[in-house]
Structure 1
């Protein structure tokens, strides 16, 4: 717990920008690796890392670094989990009711719920990656939902992080970003509800 607290205190926006500046000779590699690492260590502040990449490398380059890192990290987690399915302790986990329900829900609905859940920065993406790997969902379904959902989420955070000061000084930008996120959330909930009703029928 002390290590987690230490890392959270260390990985502030200011500290990350200093780290990226210090290791700028390595180019985008440190920023990329931090995002990949977050896929395995979900307690790391993804939002702060993405904002730091955008502030350090610019909106589009920072976005591409973070987006690529998030996709690569999630795919590695997914593949690792699929390889662990055969082990007995994993099979015990699969028998738990909550896990089975979540897996069944993802298997029935496929692309839709994974995409919408991954659109939002506060969604436990590590859990989604793990459950997707344990389920019978096809890799291409998971991958398409992953790249699309992470694109929306990473770009939204990058857009804010690229010029954070202007967001503080210009409330209209903040309101616009929050409105977009709310609309995406609302649409996602509506689609999930329709999918759920269809499945129940």
Structure 2
């Protein structure tokens, strides 16, 4: 039985790798450009590139954010800031929220069913094993909502903790969609306001204070 499950996992991963390879072979430019923009921090170039897709810009941005959250090692705030500038706060938040949620859910499924040992190794390195037990309890849904709502917290770490915990996929999905909404709004709005800080200085300062306080609380809870 275990060998059969292992075979199925290998087949699924091989099929996905083949699909990704074919897509990259057909048109490698988008991935290469986005990797360059993120690596160099070229926000202006990224904004112009997203806008160049015209009516399909939102779709392209959505897919990029999904990919970033699936990989779970690339910086996410860069694209959320770009979304805020290109699409405005509300549309940018909606695109970013939906894409982030879909991306981390896909990442969760892969970590739990294909790379559970890798997820465990990531947790061990972060000294966060105690959080696994908390998420496995009756308050796991609430804890995941709170974790997902804090802006700038490493998304991959939270996903890994959830993947090796006993939290159900249903609760994880619910917590992700609820928790990601406020964090996406804060990060998108910060990106938007940072680009036009003269128009909304009070809101920018207020969101910076909220973000720093929330992140400091997260760090304090880890030490505790």
Aligned length: 188
Q: By how many angstroms is 1:110 displaced?
A: 0.6
Preserved contact between residue 47 and residue 82 of structure 2 (Cα < 8 Å): yes
Kindly indicate whether residue 158 of structure 2 is the aligned counterpart of residue 105 of structure 1. Answer: no
Q: Which residue of 2 aligns with 1:167?
A: 197
Select 1:176's aligned residue among 197, 206, 213.
Answer: 206
Q: TM-score, length-normalised on structure 2?
A: 0.68
2: distance between equivalents of 1:139 and 1:69? Answer: 18
Preserved contact between residue 115 and residue 148 of structure 1 (Cα < 8 Å): yes
Kindly indicate whether residue 43 of structure 2 is the aligned counterpart of residue 13 of structure 1. Answer: yes
Moved more, 27-36 or 172-181: 172-181
Q: TM-score, length-normalised on structure 1?
A: 0.75
Q: By how many angstroms is 1:24 displaced?
A: 2.1
Q: By how many angstroms is 1:136 displaced?
A: 0.9
1: distance between equivalents of 2:38 and 2:118? Answer: 30
Preserved contact between residue 94 and residue 100 of structure 1 (Cα < 8 Å): no
Q: By how many angstroms is 1:60 displaced?
A: 1.4
**Equivalences for 1:106-185 in 2 at 5 Å?**
106-108=135-137, 109-168=139-198, 170-182=200-212, 184=214
Preserved contact between residue 167 and residue 173 of structure 1 (Cα < 8 Å): no
Q: Deviation per CA, 1:29-55, whole angstroms, max 9, x where unpaired?
A: 111011111113334331120111121
**Equivalences for 1:73-88 in 2 at 5 Å?**
73-84=103-114
Structure 2 residue ranges without an equivalent (≥5) = 1-34
1: distance between equivalents of 2:164 and 2:200? Answer: 45
User: Over the residues paired in the alignment, what is the CA RMSD in angstroms?
Assistant: 3.4
Select 2:81's aligned residue among 31, 37, 51.
Answer: 51
How has the CA–CA distance of structure 1 residues 90 and 21 changed in structure 2, closer, same or farther, with 3 Å as cutoff? closer
Q: Which residue of 1 aligns with 2:61?
A: 31
Structure 1 residue ranges without an equivalent (≥5) = 197-201
Preserved contact between residue 112 and residue 145 of structure 1 (Cα < 8 Å): yes
Q: Secondary structure at the match of 2:153?
A: coil
Q: Deviation per CA, 1:53-104, whole angstroms, max 9, x where unpaired?
A: 121122211111111100000111111122226x8x5698599695653321
Q: Which residue of 2 aligns with 1:199?
A: none
Report 1 or 2 for greater relative contact order, CA contacts < 8 Å, sequence distance ≥ 6.
1
Q: Secondary structure at the match of 1:30?
A: helix
Preserved contact between residue 66 and residue 99 of structure 2 (Cα < 8 Å): yes
Moved more, 160-169 or 53-62: 160-169
Q: By how many angstroms is 1:23 displaced?
A: 1.8
Q: By how many angstroms is 1:182 displaced?
A: 4.8
Preserved contact between residue 31 and residue 53 of structure 1 (Cα < 8 Å): yes
